[in-house]
Amino acid sequence: MVEFSHVSDAVKKPGTTVVLRGWVYRKRESGGLAFIILRDNTGILQTATKKDAVDAASWKAASDTTIESSIIVTGKVREDKRAPTGYELSVEKFDNVGIAEPFPITEYQSTELLLDKRHLWLRSQKMTNIMKVRATVFRYIRDFFAERQFWEVTPPVITKAGGESGSDMFETDFFGTKAYLTQSSQLYLEAMVPALERVYDLVPSFRAEKSRTVKHLAEYWHLEAEAAYYGCEDNMKLQEDMISYICQKMVKEQAPLLDALGVDKKGLGVVKAPFERLTYKEAIDYINKHGGKKEWLDDFGVEDEKILTEKRDKPIFVWKWPIKIKSFYMRPDPNDPELVLNADMLAPQGHGEIIGGSERISDYAMLKKRITELGLNVKNYEWYLDTPRYGSVQHSGFGFGTERFIKWILNLDHIRDAIPFPRMINRAEP
């Protein structure tokens, strides 16, 4: 049986004959020589097919092949300084598996075309590397929570319970009744706390916001965590530990990948807990002192977040927000009930909010009162109110936008490139 190699292994064994399965990344032919760069999921390798050195079928296959055709190539690897990666494969046998039609993406393309042809653009080196970072971030998140003895759980995507703000939900017809795509799994995680004590999930959340910004997706992968006997302080500590853990592991273990994406590894390496904290009030003062204009009870926009973070190299927390502008489930600060025990984490260099979290109200009567005060329909929250009714404990949690995080650490211009098939206000295809 033939043993197949990948590019990353093949270049470690110069002088041996290997068989590679890949796709045509570049092609150039001159005289009796065809240079075809093969790519697979591990990298690219230039192959050189000499008309005189191979059989007629192999020469024809190499001549006939086209950009993005799938190929199987046998040859000997050697070091060659002139080749793009410093290695070249001297081809002994060349086969086409599937000849590609003329590829619609050529060197210079509009952003719109690249989005329309997203399914093909994902084959580019840049997108492939971003998707590897994404997979790695997801893996590190799971490693982190496993080390902290959190259980991964899988809440429903279809729900009747309102989320962050009822208006931004995608409505769906659920066998003749109204249901929604989830905005946050928080309430379900809270319900699982008495069973598992520390839980997290990593599933899509949906936001029907009509925002056309570089940091809003209609469907994004939301990491949410919830833990028993955690106060606001423990919650913030958990968040900064998680962010530090991922950043440190990326720098330590993924240097080649970060280099390929032009990431400043030193910059990422300084991301270590603890992170600076500003109260909401301090943040307002800071913004007003640095050219912005904010009043008490204003939420922060892109410009404000920029003012707060552009000169920083680590994320910051903005905590203790006014209760009037935050969600019903956040625990009022016992020292100042006008404020809640919450914190948002903002990424540096203006990348914006990446985490929103809080200590929760664990008192049944107070929770019910807050739901009513905010004009929400208590009926929709009956099951949720059962959580504090039957054995309530102090608990806290947070939600983390993984694409916002990836956008920050890779310094991407737009969040859409942090996810393979972005869903945005004007795009649900491909």
Shortest Å, Cβ 402 to ligand 4AD: 8
43/163 with CB nearer Mg ion: 163
Question: If we measure between CA atoms, which residue out of 216, 215, 217, 234 comes closest to residue 225?
Answer: 234
In 288-365, at which residue ranges do the beta strands (DSSP E only) sit? 316-319, 332-333, 336-340, 342-347, 352-359
The listed partner (Mg ion, ligand 4AD, none) that binds 10, CB under 5 to 8 Å by sort, is none
Shortest Å, Cβ 211 to ligand 4AD: 7
End-to-end CA distance of the chain: 38
User: Which residues contact ligand 4AD (rule: CB under 6 A)?
Assistant: 164, 184, 186, 207, 209, 216-217, 220, 222, 224, 353-357, 397-399, 401, 403-404
| Phi and psi at residue 18, to the nearest 5° | -130, 160
Pairing of strands 70-79, 87-98: antiparallel
Question: If we measure between CA atoms, which residue out of 343, 335, 340 comes closest to residue 322?
Answer: 340
25/398 with CB nearer ligand 4AD: 398
207/395 with CB nearer Mg ion: 207
| DSSP structural state of residue 69 | -
> Is residue 356 a contact partner of residue 399, using CB atoms and an 8 Å limit?
yes
Q: Containing H/E element for 226?
A: strand 219-228
Shortest Å, Cβ 357 to Mg ion: 9
3-state helix vs strand vs coil in the chain, percent to 5 = 35, 30, 35
Q: In what order do the strands lie in the sheet with 352-359?
A: 151-152, 198-206, 219-228, 395-401, 352-359, 342-347, 316-319, 276-279
Shortest Å, Cβ 205 to ligand 4AD: 7
36/341 with CB nearer Mg ion: 341
**Dist CA 386 CA 380 (whole Å):** 12
87/206 with CB nearer Mg ion: 206
- Options 30-38, 39-47, 214-222, 353-361: segment touching Mg ion (CB under 5 A): 353-361
Shortest Å, Cβ 415 to ligand 4AD: 6
Shortest Å, Cβ 11 to ligand 4AD: 38
Shortest Å, Cβ 220 to ligand 4AD: 4
The listed partner (ligand 4AD, Mg ion, none) that binds 357, CB under 5 to 8 Å by sort, is ligand 4AD
Shortest Å, Cβ 339 to Mg ion: 16
Angle at CA of residue 353, ends 234 and 126, nearest 5°? 115
Q: Which residue is nearest to Mg ion (CB)?
A: 356
**Contacting Mg ion within 354-383 (CB under 5 A):** 356
The listed partner (Mg ion, ligand 4AD, none) that binds 222, CB under 5 to 8 Å by sort, is ligand 4AD
The listed partner (ligand 4AD, Mg ion, none) that binds 355, CB under 5 to 8 Å by sort, is ligand 4AD
**Dist CA 187 CA 381 (whole Å):** 9
The listed partner (ligand 4AD, Mg ion, none) that binds 408, CB under 5 to 8 Å by sort, is none
45/330 with CB nearer Mg ion: 330
Footprint on this chain of Mg ion (rule: CB under 5 A) = 356
